[in-house]
Structure 1
């Protein structure tokens, strides 16, 4: 992979079942096992990544027509354990987006379904990776 396409984070243990993820720009987020700490679980981070990726896509596309007055997404699905092991099923994003009255708001509102479809079908790297599937190689140094 070239430097232009390569993405990475570094994960460091910071406590019992707690980890810090750091990106190349120095940004940090935290995750845990879902115990008593407020940290996101890895599954919650996956849902947040899917929702965040599509939110950015849809917001950038619709903002060319009109600025939203409300923008939220509910991301969810079922965590199951079956013959394929642990995984998520029924992943769903529910958009709650509003635009002001008037020509710009009308244009953005009319384009919203297409913007959501564009994100789902080709733009959102996170959801597209989940939809298409990607091999994950586990290595040890």
Structure 2
């Protein structure tokens, strides 16, 4: 049996500046260009990238720590500065910050004690999203006849 390594989503235009991404299991998420007047609540592609960075590590950390204790707080904040220069648009100074609390009991103490290592292992080895961003994987873009 061969391992299926391919991951995919399909992005379809739903209106001007609005899109829906669908995964192979049928899950969807809407996104768009955003709105300067605040009337559009859709995530932008940049916000989706930030969510993927935080979400990937959050999943790993949650699995590792929740085995010991259910968190009383679990928030991940992801930030970056959008810049444009001679190289084009990109994000700089990406930062993923965890704010996690556990009950003040023995199980909570175990979860707290493994939290820093769980974050480090996820970032250094497990999180496909941050590992891909950090290694600078090339992206191939093509146009095919519709």
Q: TM-score range by the shorter chain?
A: over 0.9
Deviation string 1:22-65 (CA, Å, 9 cap, x unpaired) is 11001110111111321100000000011111110000011122
Deviation string 1:91-115 (CA, Å, 9 cap, x unpaired) is 0011110000111100110111101
What SS does the corresponding residue of 2:61 show, helix, strand or coil?
helix
Gapped runs of 5+ residues in structure 1? none
C-alpha distance in 1 between matches for 2:68 and 2:27:
31
C-alpha distance in 2 between matches for 1:37 and 1:23:
23
**Large movers: runs of 4+ above 2 Å:** none
Matched residue count: 140
What SS does the corresponding residue of 2:138 show, helix, strand or coil?
coil
Deviation string 1:53-82 (CA, Å, 9 cap, x unpaired) is 111000001112222111011111100001
Written as runs of structure 1 = structure 2, the 5 A alignment for 1:1-141 is 4-35=4-35, 36-141=39-144
C-alpha distance in 2 between matches for 1:136 and 1:127:
15
TM-score, normalised relative to structure 2: 0.92
What SS does the corresponding residue of 1:57 show, helix, strand or coil?
helix
TM-score, normalised relative to structure 1: 0.96
Q: What is the RMSD of the two structures over their aligned residues, measured on CA atoms?
A: 1.1
